[in-house]
Amino acid sequence: MCGVDTGRTVDEKPAPKRPRTRTRTRGKALVVAAVLTALLTAFPGLVPDTAGNPGSLLETFRPWTGPAVPVLLLLALLRRSRLAAAATLLPAAVWLGLFGPALLAGGGAGDGDRGGGEGRGDGSSGALTVVQHNASDENPDPAGTARALAEAGPDVLALQELLPGALPAYRRALAADYPHHAVVGTVGLWSKHPLSGTGPVDIRPEGLGADWNRGMRTVARTPYGPVAVYVAHLPSVRITPVGGFASDRRDESAAALGRAVAAEELDRVVLLGDLNGVAGDRALAPLTSRLRPAHEAAGRGFGLTFPAAFPVVRIDQVMVRGLTPVRAWTLPATGSDHLPVAARLAP
């Protein structure tokens, strides 16, 4: 009797199906990476400031965890892992929850806002307009920088990195609009309102000579009453493969400035400075625990200021006490490697 040849003997059995373990585990590393990204973005305090200050480094560049999300998503798609793709929603949600309001907020001026006529500090708008700028000791056009800053019409204008050779140019360019000014070391303040009680603030880290003067305090007699104005330039930080985030001198200087602010007797205080640190850096807690960063309260966008050609961090700060920030914005680039920042403060 003829039959159909099935190609196997009677005793042969079909090969068992292999378990699909690979599909289930595919993209596991990406899931872990997504969860870690979300955790570190939401809770940078989990990273200690041990050798190399990794915690401060993370806090300095925390907004830049955002680009990790599309990278993780792309890798998940390449791996064809639905689980990994879904996991990227977690860091995306955390990032948007933290930084989305700053990007979408209305009403406050943000990056690139020129301020317009509304921002001019003639006292008629019921607010004090301030400008902070590290003018750079390598600025090729100090007079042009001064004129550009004056066009924003601030009531007070703080500058850092004022070298003796460039100081006359700033004084000449600002004399007409700012009859009152004071300079201590390499920091200075120009004001439409009278100044009094000007003096240095010792923020010198250990080991630096007496000629290192980068802090000052004065009192501006504004239409809203006396305002203690501090101008400061904290030491620079460095990022190296061996030393990590080297910020010890800056941290020491921030602590000294924080003690000076804590001892301030006037109710209204404004700090204008290149602090070489972002407001969220735990090392600036001696200041942020006593003063309110104006940009975080009234800005839009990240207000990045350094380097001017492609800003990645906001290290130039306006911080206040006893005044309410109503607007904060960055000004156009000058001959400096920093962008100027401006804020309007209501009494």
Please name which of 171, 184, 194 lies closest in space to residue 216, comparing C-alpha atoms: 184
- What is the phi-psi region of residue 158: left when phi exceeds 0, alpha when psi lies from -120 to 50, beta otherwise? beta
The answer to whether residues 268 and 230 touch, using CB atoms and an 8 Å cutoff, is no
The answer to whether residues 204 and 212 touch, using CB atoms and an 8 Å cutoff, is yes
The ranges of the chain annotated as CATH 3.60.10.10 are 117-346
Could you count the other beta carbons within 10 Å of the beta carbon of residue 220?
Answer: 24
What distance in Å separates the CA atoms of residue 315 and residue 237, rounded to the nearest whole number?
Answer: 11
Dihedral sign for Cα atoms in the order 103, 104, 109, 113: positive
What pLDDT sits at residue 299? 84
pLDDT in tens, 268-317: 999 999 999 999 999 999 999 999 999 998 888 889 999 999 999 999 99
**How does DSSP assign 211-245, residue by residue?**
T---EEEEEEEETTEEEEEEEEEPPP-EEETTTEE
Lowest-confidence pick of 12-26, 30-44, 261-275, 298-312: 12-26
Q: Is the pTM of this model over 0.85?
A: yes
Please name which of 97, 158, 166, 154 lies closest in space to residue 132, comparing C-alpha atoms: 158
pLDDT in tens, 190-247: 999 999 999 999 999 998 988 899 999 999 999 999 999 999 999 999 998 878 999 9
Which residue stretches of the chain are H helix? 21-25, 28-42, 54-60, 68-79, 82-87, 89-104, 142-150, 167-174, 248-262, 285-288, 294-298
pLDDT in tens, 173-192: 999 999 999 999 999 999 99
301 or 149: whose pLDDT is higher? Answer: 149
The CA angle 149-151-152, to the nearest 5 degrees, is 75
Mean pLDDT of 329-345: 97
Residue 75 has pLDDT above 70, yes or no: yes
What distance in Å separates the CA atoms of residue 132 and residue 295, rounded to the nearest whole number?
Answer: 12
Look at the domain 117-346 and name its fold: Deoxyribonuclease I; Chain A (3.60.10)
The answer to whether residues 206 and 183 touch, using CB atoms and an 8 Å cutoff, is no
Structural element, H or E, at residue 284:
none
Please name which of 187, 344, 167 lies closest in space to residue 270, comparing C-alpha atoms: 344
Residue 95 has pLDDT above 60, yes or no: yes
**How does DSSP assign 137-191, residue by residue?**
TT-S-HHHHHHHHHTT--SEEEEE---TTTHHHHHHHHTTT--EEEEETTEEEEE
